[in-house]
Structure 1
Amino acid sequence: MIDLANKVYFDKIRYVLSNIPKFDLTNDELIIVLAILLLRENNEQISVLSIQNLTDLDERLIDTCIETLAAKRYLEIVVDKTVVNFSVDNLFNLKEVDTTDVKDIFKIFEDEFARILTQRELVKINEWLKEYERDEIIEALRSASIMNKLNFNYIHKILENNRNE
């Protein structure tokens, strides 16, 4: 389905609207997804500000929804030098995505750090999930916590060292 979704004639907005029950989205998340699709369709830069201008949603709400969409793996955030790219192409995959493990790992990190994770941290965890097993990541987090060095660079080094052993 992803190949079809990238064809010029495929109407992504219509697809999302006609499959709303299929997605695990709140109304605000749905509005943000539609805003991202519209901005991409018009070749406009996607940012929290551009989404806010299009939707009149509060900046904090947009941030929270972006974090949640990334946690659900519907939204992929890729930082390319100075440009941040938002992609919701995962909505067009036919296979069901199990988001409980991803939400769980974010919750574990938030509990360990005793704060809400930033967008950059959520992206980093998503990158790790592509490269490492969930248990490896949690073990690295625990090791960093034991050493009282709770930062993402330290956790990344632990993951790399464990991989090289």
Structure 2
Amino acid sequence: MSKTSILKWLQEGNVTIPGALLNHYKEMNLYEHELVLILHVISFIEKGNEFPTPIELSSRMTISVSECTEILRKLIQKGYIEIKDSYSAEGIRYEKYNIEPLFEKLFDHFLLKSKQEAAVINQQNETDLYTCFEQEFGRPLSPFECETLALWMDDDHHDPHIIKAALREAVISGKLNFRYIDRILFEWKKNGIKTIEQAKSYGKKFRQNQSQNRYKANEGSAQTTKSIPFYNWLEQ
């Protein structure tokens, strides 16, 4: 290939489009011919032709001029493309295609999709949370207990994973009741515990301190049989 051919090929340039458009155009009710036409419009605009004719567009596609005109009409009706008036430096009025509505719709769709996916994940986490509690308690939760779980998530804004960690902490401490778990969550929130790793580290540190205190108490009071209880969150 000659240097001239390479330069000519490079001068063709590239078309810059969001990957989200290729991934979600079907969900946005766009068909392949409509998408390809949009890509050609973008290509023309990026090369300085802001209002390519149906003849120019169809010459690059496998559809007729009339089909191209019809697709353009539908895209405008759907609100993906609009025709705007503009003025040159000399004050001459001309028309151009504007594709900002397409990207606005794409952005709105992407946000909605993200919110829907987050809602599904959150619902799954909440369902798993109720299941975990029922498994640990060995019975269905009472209406009051279900309401308490909901309050922890909705009012106190505890992450379901943190609530699960507090449940495990209660199991380890041998105090499986909602009042005890609520106290753990209160202590964690007061101390800025927001992740599973922080919760594990915090609980481990207190258990180690409690164990050391028990050892010192037994060592210094050999004459007494009084036992030192396991770390009790309710006493903090």
Higher-Rg member (1/2):
2
TM, length-normalised to structure 1: 0.45
TM, length-normalised to structure 2: 0.33
